[in-house]
Amino acid sequence: MLAVILAMVAFVGWRWWHNHPPYGPEALAIKSSLQIVSHEEAQAALGEKVNAPVSNGRDQLVLGRVSWQTPPKPLDGGYFAIFLIDKRTNLKAGGFSASSPRQEAVGLGSAGVENKIPERYPWLRGAGDVKEGNGWSSYGSRLAVSDGNASPLTFVALFPHVEGALRAAVHVPTAPVAISDLLLALVYMGPDGQVYWAQRLQG
């Protein structure tokens, strides 16, 4: 009986340690900004090595900047997930261009483990998959940063102009959009899919 109790205590202790973040968001002193820009302004912000998203007509481009201090500890298999979400629809932006001093450490896409984010942070329910009928679908993207030295991160997101009923069919945020419609957040994900913490940056 004693052995069982000790094993349970050890497991609880291990689980606490496993899910405990190495540091909190205050250690990073995160700064951020969002603004609507022209294609020329977007390209200038990204630099010569990264192409801004192609936009036409009434499409809109949102320029974002996120910077942080060097983390106290390396990410070691974890990553920072950066979400840009339209609060009107709880949809993630559909396409990004991004530039960073560690360009190879910045990725675009989504991951199944990120469905745990809205379970812990309901205000970030747009970070997970979208329920459709009896199933779930993944739409839109987030930026994933695998190196703590990848700051500052500059990105441009495309918000396409779509007419009428087609807006619901594209499953990504569309123009017209205002900065006040947007939520920007940084989530620290652990190497085993732990949701260490989430920080609201804008919106």
| pLDDT, tens digit (0-9, with 9 covering 90-100), for 17-38 | 458 999 999 999 999 999 999 9
Backbone angles phi, psi at 87, to 5 degrees: -65, -20
Q: Which domains does the chain have, with CATH numbers?
A: 25-202 (2.60.40)
pLDDT reported for residue 10: 44
Confidence of residue 49 (pLDDT cuts 50, 70, 90): very high
d(CA 189, CA 121): 13
Q: Give the residue with greater pLDDT, 134 vs 15.
A: 134
pLDDT reported for residue 8: 52
Q: What is the mean pLDDT of the chain?
A: 90
pLDDT reported for residue 168: 66
d(CA 111, CA 193): 9
Mean pLDDT calculated for residue range 129-153? 90
Mean pLDDT calculated for residue range 177-198? 98
Q: Give the residue with greater pLDDT, 113 vs 163.
A: 113
